[in-house]
Amino acid sequence: MPRGDCPMTTPNDCYIDLRGLPFHYRDWGGDGQPVLLLHGLASTCHIWDLVAPLLAEDFRVAALDQRGHGLSAQVDDGFDFATVSGDAAAFIGYLGWERPVIVGHSWGADVALELAAAEPDLASGLIFVDGGTIEPSARPGWSLEQARQDMAPPIFTGFTPEMMRERVATGARFGPDPSETVIEAVLANFRVLEDGTIQSHLRRENHLRIIDALWDHRPSQLYPTLRCPVLMLPARQTTPDAMDRRFRREESMAKAAALLPVSQTVWLEDSIHDVPLQRPELVAETMREHINNGFFDRKT
């Protein structure tokens, strides 16, 4: 029997060793099709805290803290895609899952892409949530140094948990009156230091190592090699300051759709990048619909 195969309404926080390193994951239980949830760069498994319980009503669900993130291994190497995607493959093996649907948000979608390209028969399908198309080297006028500068993490030196809580609660990012779950999911990205201030779980130097790996990442070369269907869920906004990003995203989605053997694109309208926290019902229902309607049963 696959490990942890029991339905639950609240998650178990679990700790395991994978490939000689400690990893943390949230096990949401459930039955049926296995669904692995991968977070994005500098995030944690808590980005899925509102989506996962909805999916666990119909599927078997777990969310992993990837290396260097959250409560998983704090190491200074292995941030290339081959190693990070290998962690996910080892996790799937640990759980005893057969042909899960692998869901990735942002950078996590690119990890899922690399994994499916390396192990074509591992997944029954991929779901890219506003990700899976990150290819900074293809951006006109960019160099690696420019990517490192523009994609570097924000600096929160001197911030306390209370200051970050206030920032999330009063900002416009998640709309008025974000839930406590949303606030706690954002706070989960940080550890509290001895002086009471916060610091990202993902160390800055490791964040930059992932940017370096992204510079060598070529989604456009990987798409045609996939044997499983891909559901792409890009977020889109209509505000004037989002139009440049919207144009680039629409262009990259069209390119991906043309190269992927089997894919479908569903735009998440009026949605921000962290749409799993902003609109969890929409994200979960769109996933559920495509898993249940046999989309991932298609063969390439």
Q: Locate 194 and state its tokens.
A: 């001895």
CA-wise closest residue to 91 among 8, 44, 26, 33: 26
pLDDT for the residue 243: 65
CB-side neighbour CA atoms (13 Å) of 160: 5
Q: So what's the pLDDT on residue 23?
A: 98
Domain positions in the chain:
12-139+215-297
Task: Give the pLDDT confidence score for residue 172 in this predicted structure.
Answer: 86
- What is the rounded distance in angstroms from the CA atom of residue 247 to the CA atom of residue 227? 28
Note if the pTM is more than 0.75. yes
- pLDDT tens-digit series, residues 191-222: 999 999 999 999 999 999 999 999 999 999 99
Q: For domain 12-139+215-297, which CATH number applies: 3.10.350.10, 1.20.1560.10, 3.40.50.920, 3.40.50.1820? A: 3.40.50.1820
Rounded distance, CA 78 to CA 193, Å? 25
Per-residue confidence in pLDDT tens, the chain, 300 aa: 333 333 345 899 999 999 999 999 999 999 999 999 999 999 999 999 999 999 999 999 999 999 999 999 999 999 999 999 999 999 999 999 999 999 999 999 999 999 999 999 999 999 999 999 999 999 999 999 999 999 999 999 999 999 999 999 998 889 889 999 999 999 999 999 999 999 999 999 999 999 999 999 999 999 999 999 999 999 998 776 666 677 788 999 999 999 999 999 999 999 999 999 999 999 999 999 999 999 999 876
Q: Please check whether residue 99 is in contact with residue 124, taking contact to mean a CB–CB distance below 8 angstroms.
A: yes
User: In the prediction, which pLDDT does 156 show?
Assistant: 94
Please report where in the chains the tokens 């406590």 appear, as a residue: 180
**What pLDDT sits at residue 95?**
98
Distance CA 280, CA 270 (A): 13
Q: What is the pLDDT, as a whole number, of residue 241?
A: 67
Contact 107, 210 (CB under 8 A): yes
Quick one: which of 197, 175, 151, 171 has its CA closest to 41? 151
Q: DSSP letters of 250-261? A: HHHHHHHHHH-S
Q: CA-to-CA distance for 84 and 8, rounded, in angstroms?
A: 28
Both tokens of residue 157? Answer: 């030196």
